[in-house]
């Protein structure tokens, strides 16, 4: 591996005070851990749970920033922004990797860059496509890059000091033509990542999963190359007990000892469930210890489902005490259509996206599904058929869920020419959406998931990036403020008036225009917004805030 490292008294009274001090310290630590709200890697943690147990409302732009200068590029940001709390000297920070291999960090509340210079390049030279979501732990950012071009270059893992963007060390991982396309997973002093080699339509290499020392990523603790033609594309791992689990292009889920890479067992879902042709697992594995199952999706590009292709959601019993896959009749499969979405479990239900048909203008809608986690029975699905401006809902992303009491805020993005961030509730009702205003169709696609954040001051953020290369931070917003400038004025009145007369008129935040919350933007909303614009003390009595 290539290495480039920068090294940067008297008893009675004391015996009574020490326990009190210790208790106080314990209380402070407990309080700090309860108030913590970070999203430091893909789907939040090494189990890929995707749930934050706090109220997070993100529907109006708080800030945004371009991560490169060419918004006509059809690449931009194709990873999940990650959120780190208490970065040394910097506070809470959101980090994002763009298509060139540049990583950058921003203050979560203000959007100010935290590094000077703003970007740290993680490739040997500028690339064109990056798919690996970074991970953060204890002041260090772990980034996997590949330069992006098919069968060009090699993988590199870079460890970066999060406070200033300085590279601690980097290491070449794998050989030429292999890409590091899985999320980076941090767990217990180790960094895990997998590689893949292929073309736009096939896999041509023998993929390897790597375990690196988080204290020195040039130190490979173990690696395992598959004994058959396959690879790991988006197929992130989960750490369950002493084991690492990951899927591959041949429908196999492999279980290894997480510390030494020893092979434990495997499970081929296409064989076990009788599904042909064999499907490619391009989601991460999500493990839930309440149900004792792993959950994931797989897909195959075929002509079925009007061109969407085949795909399923799988639930497979797994014993985290010995690393084996059980067969007691409690595993199940659900026909989801073509999907690369990592499922999320919450309170006995599974939430997942399905439907990824690209480059066509006429297709049935994709969907977000809710299923019973115990048996895979259908509960609800949502596909946005009510919006005349959206002909195809292509959900490649994994849901990000904010859970507050009995209320859920389920965030998904759509990989469409008019890409959006949607928020659904626990019943599958759309609460609101936000649509970025990039002028180029190629810049509006949103292929990856959102991340969510809340701090002790109640400052909520939902983060996502798009193909234009812009990172968005959404906050709660203000009812009536349809242009997201923190005021209700004549510009808002004009926009609400136009939307009332033309349902297709573009608004960044249409939820804010429906002041009375009746599902329509009409003259009653125009009247209320106009009164607020002329009188800041006028009470809108907003129903859109409920």
Tell me the torsion sign for CA atoms 82, 83, 86, 92. positive
Of the given ranges (50-59, 333-342, 433-442), which has the lowest mean pLDDT?
433-442
Per-residue model confidence (pLDDT) at position 440 = 56
In-domain check, residue 105: yes
Cβ count within 10 A of residue 73: 19
Quick one: average pLDDT of 398-416? 94
Ramachandran bin of 307, using left for φ above 0, alpha for ψ from -120 to 50, beta for the remaining angles: left
CA distance 247 to 237: 8
Considering the domain architecture, whether residues 155 and 235 belong to the same structural domain is answered as: yes
Q: How confident is the model at residue 212 (pLDDT cuts 50, 70, 90)?
A: very high
Same domain, 501 and 467: no
Same domain for 209 and 238, yes or no, is yes
27 or 509, which is more confident? Answer: 509
Q: Indicate if the pLDDT at residue 193 is higher than 60.
A: yes
Report DSSP state, residue 206.
B
Domain ranges, residue 398 = 30-475
Lowest mean pLDDT among 5-14, 212-221, 288-297, 515-524: 5-14
Environment class of residue 303 by beta-carbon count within 10 Å: exposed (0-12), middle (13-18) or buried (19+)? exposed
Contacts of 79 (CB under 8 A, 6+ apart): 96, 97, 130, 131, 132, 133, 134, 183, 448, 465
- The pLDDT of residue 543 is 63
Say yes or no: 374 and 450 in one domain.
yes
Same domain, 408 and 529: no
Residue 522 in any domain: the answer is: yes
d(CA 217, CA 214): 6
pLDDT at 17 over 50: no
Return the pLDDT at 441. Answer: 58
Q: What average pLDDT score do residues 163-190 get?
A: 96
Q: Terminal CA-to-CA distance of the chain, rounded, Å?
A: 55
Question: Do 450 and 490 fall into the same domain?
Answer: no
User: What does the pLDDT average to over 98-120?
Assistant: 96
**Pure H helices in 226-312:** 269-273
Q: Which of 475, 504, 519 is the last residue before a domain boundary?
A: 475
Give the pLDDT band (50/70/90) at residue 500. very high
Confirm if 475 and 461 have CB atoms less than 8 A apart: yes
Of residues 422 and 363, more confidently modeled: 422
Mean pLDDT for the stretch of residues 443-463: 90
Question: What residues contact 102, with CB distance under 8 A and at least 6 apart?
Answer: 67, 68, 119, 120, 121, 122, 126
CA distance 394 to 361: 11
Q: What percent of the chain has pLDDT over 70?
A: 85
pLDDT at 9: 35
pLDDT at 26 over 50: no
User: Residues 58, 201: one domain?
Assistant: yes
CA pair distance 41, 292, nearest whole angstrom: 23
Contacts of 460 (CB under 8 A, 6+ apart): 55, 56, 57, 58, 452, 453, 454, 475, 476
DSSP tag of 300: E
Q: Is 416 within a domain?
A: yes
The stretch 268-295 carries a mean pLDDT of 95
- The CATH number of the domain holding residue 157 is 2.140.10.10
Minimum mean pLDDT range among 148-162, 296-310, 396-410, 487-501: 296-310
Decide which of 481 and 437 is more confident: 481
Interacting residues of 450 by C-beta distance below 8 A, sequence separation 6+ = 58, 80, 81, 397, 400, 411, 412, 413, 421, 462, 463, 464
Q: What is the pLDDT of residue 310?
A: 82
Q: Is residue 259 part of a domain?
A: yes
69: Cβ contacts below 8 Å, ≥ 6 apart? none
Residue 14: the pLDDT is 35
Provide mean pLDDT across the span 228-233: 97
The mean of the pLDDT values for the chain is 87
Q: How confident is the model at residue 34 (pLDDT cuts 50, 70, 90)?
A: very low
Question: Looking at residue 358, what is its pLDDT?
Answer: 42
- Distance between CA 100 and CA 127 in Å, rounded? 4
For the segment 519-533, what is each residue's pLDDT rounded down to a tens digit? 789 999 999 999 999
Give the domain CATH number at 497.
1.10.1330
Tell whether 289 and 183 lie within a shared domain. yes
**Which tens digit of pLDDT belongs to each residue from 72-88?**
556 789 999 999 999 99
The residue-averaged pLDDT of 372-377 equals 97
- How far, in Å, CA of 143 to CA of 290, rounded? 31
Same domain for 484 and 415?
A: no
Tokens of 522: 């009409």
Which comes out higher in pLDDT, residue 307 or 16?
Answer: 307
Contact 235, 281 (CB under 8 A): yes
Three-state SS letters, 125-141: CCCCCCCCCCEEECCEE
**pLDDT classification of 442: cutoffs 50, 70, 90:** low
Q: Report the domain count for the chain.
A: 2
The residue among 225, 291, 307, 300 whose CA lies nearest residue 270 is 300
- 257 and 394, same domain (yes or no): yes
Task: Name the nearest CA neighbour of 370 among 429, 311, 329.
Answer: 429
What's the pLDDT at 30? 40
pLDDT at 53 over 70: yes
Burial code (b: 16+ CB inside 10 Å, e: under 16) for 48-70 equals bbbbbebebbbbbbbbbbebbee
Domain for residue 21, yes or no?
no
Cβ contacts of 448 within 8 Å, gap of 6 or more: 77, 78, 79, 80, 133, 396, 397, 413, 464, 465
Residue 212 placed within a domain: yes
Decide: residue 471, CB within 10 A, 0-12 exposed, 13-18 middle, 19+ buried.
buried
Q: Has residue 219 been placed in a domain? A: yes
| Band of pLDDT at residue 437, cut at 50, 70 and 90 | confident
Here the tokens at position 212 are 């690196």
pLDDT computed for residue 1 by the predictor:
44
- Whether the predicted pLDDT of 246 surpasses 80: yes
Two tokens at 529? 């917004």
Residue 13 predicted with pLDDT over 50: no
Give residue 65's pLDDT band: very low, low, confident or very high (50, 70, 90). Answer: very high
Alpha-carbon distance of 126 to 373, in angstroms, equals: 43
Q: How confident is the model at residue 385 (pLDDT cuts 50, 70, 90)?
A: low
Note the pLDDT of residue 506.
Answer: 82
- Higher-confidence residue: 177 or 347? 347
Same domain (yes/no): 428, 493: no
Q: How confident is the model at residue 418 (pLDDT cuts 50, 70, 90)?
A: confident
Whole-angstrom distance, CA of residue 35 vs CA of residue 22 = 20
Quick one: average pLDDT of 165-174? 96
Structure tokens belonging to residue 265: 């067992």
Identify the domain boundary among 451, 475, 499: 475
Question: Which residue, of 436, 451, 475, is where some domain finishes?
Answer: 475
Q: Which is higher by pLDDT, 264 or 384?
A: 264
Can you tell me the distance from the alpha carbon of 415 to that of 9, in angstroms, rounded to the nearest whole number?
66
Q: What is the pLDDT of residue 383?
A: 83
Q: Which residue has the tokens 């180029």?
A: 440
pLDDT in tens, 322-339: 999 987 889 999 998 789
Please give the Cα distance from 20 to 25 (Å, whole number). Answer: 9
Cα 296 from chain centre: 15
Answer yes or no: is pLDDT of 93 > 90: yes
Q: Are residues 409 and 515 in the same domain?
A: no
- Selection from 136, 148, 181, 142 nearest residue 448 by Cα: 181
Closest CA to 170 of 200, 133, 206, 140: 140
Q: Is residue 384 very low, low, confident or very high in pLDDT (cuts 50, 70, 90)?
A: confident
| Cα–Cα distance, 176 to 126 (Å, whole number) | 16
Q: Return the bridge partners of 372, or none.
A: 349
- 347 exposed, middle or buried (CB, 10 Å; 0-12, 13-18, 19+)? exposed
Q: Quick one: tokens of 469?
A: 């290369």
Whether 395 is covered by a domain: the verdict is yes
């Amino acid at each position: 591996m290539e290495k480039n490292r920068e090294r940067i008294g008297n008893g009675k009274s004391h015996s009574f005070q020490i326990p009190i001090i210790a208790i106080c310290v314990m209380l402070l630590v407990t309080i700090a851990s309860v108030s913590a709200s970070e999203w430091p890697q893909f789907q939040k943690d090494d189990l890929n749970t995707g749930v934050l147990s706090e109220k997070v409302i993100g529907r109006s732009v708080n800030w945004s920033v371009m991560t490169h200068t060419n918004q006509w590029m059809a690449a931009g940001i194709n990873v999940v922004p990650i959120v780190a709390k208490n970065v040394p000297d910097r506070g809470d920070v959101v980090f994002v990797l763009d298509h060139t291999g540049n990583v950058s960090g921003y203050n979560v509340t203000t959007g100010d860059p935290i590094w000077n210079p703003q970007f740290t390049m993680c490739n040997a030279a500028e690339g064109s496509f990056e798919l690996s979501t970074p991970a953060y732990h204890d002041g260090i950012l772990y980034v996997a890059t590949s330069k992006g071009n098919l069968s060009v270059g090699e993988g590199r893992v870079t460890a970066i000091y999060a406070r200033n963007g300085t590279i601690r060390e980097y290491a070449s991982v794998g050989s030429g033509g292999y890409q590091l396309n899985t999320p980076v997973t941090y767990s217990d002093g180790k960094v895990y990542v997998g590689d893949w080699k292929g073309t736009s339509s096939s896999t041509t290499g023998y993929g390897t999963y790597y375990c690196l020392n988080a204290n020195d990523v040039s130190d490979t603790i173990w690696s395992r190359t598959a004994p058959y033609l396959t690879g790991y594309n988006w197929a992130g791992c989960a750490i369950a007990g002493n084991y690492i689990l990951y899927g591959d292009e041949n429908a196999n889920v492999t279980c290894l000892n997480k510390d030494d890479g020893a092979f434990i067992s495997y499970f081929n879902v296409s064989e076990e469930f009788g599904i042909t042709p064999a499907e490619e697992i391009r989601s991460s594995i999500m493990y839930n210890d309440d149900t004792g199952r792993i959950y994931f999706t797989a897909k195959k590009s075929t002509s079925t489902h009007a061109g969407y292709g085949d795909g399923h959601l799988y639930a497979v019993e797994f014993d985290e005490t010995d690393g084996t896959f059980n067969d007691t009749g409690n595993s199940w499969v659900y026909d989801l259509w073509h999907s690369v979405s990592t499922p999320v479990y919450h309170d006995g239900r599974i939430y997942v996206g399905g439907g990824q048909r690209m480059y066509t203008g006429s297709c049935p809608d994709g969907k977000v599904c809710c299923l019973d986690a115990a048996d895979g029975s259908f509960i609800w699905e949502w596909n946005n058929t009510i919006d005349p401006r959206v002909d195809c809902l292509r959900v490649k992303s994994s849901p990000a869920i904010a859970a507050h009491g009995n209320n859920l805020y389920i965030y998904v993005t759509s990989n469409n020419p008019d890409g959006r961030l949607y928020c659904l509730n626990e019943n599958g009702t759309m609460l609101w959406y936000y649509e970025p205003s990039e002028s180029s169709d190629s810049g509006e696609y949103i292929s990856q998931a959102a991340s969510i954040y809340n701090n002790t001051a109640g400052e909520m953020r939902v983060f996502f990036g798009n193909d234009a290369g812009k990172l968005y931070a959404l906050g709660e917003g203000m009812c009536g403020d349809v242009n997201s400038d923190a005021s209700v004025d004549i510009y808002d009145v004009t926009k609400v008036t136009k939307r009332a007369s033309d349902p297709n008129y573009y608004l960044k935040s249409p939820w804010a225009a429906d002041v009375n919350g009746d599902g329509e933007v009409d003259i009653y909303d125009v009247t209320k917004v106009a009164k607020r614009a002329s009188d800041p003390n006028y009470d809108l009595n907003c129903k859109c805030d409920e």
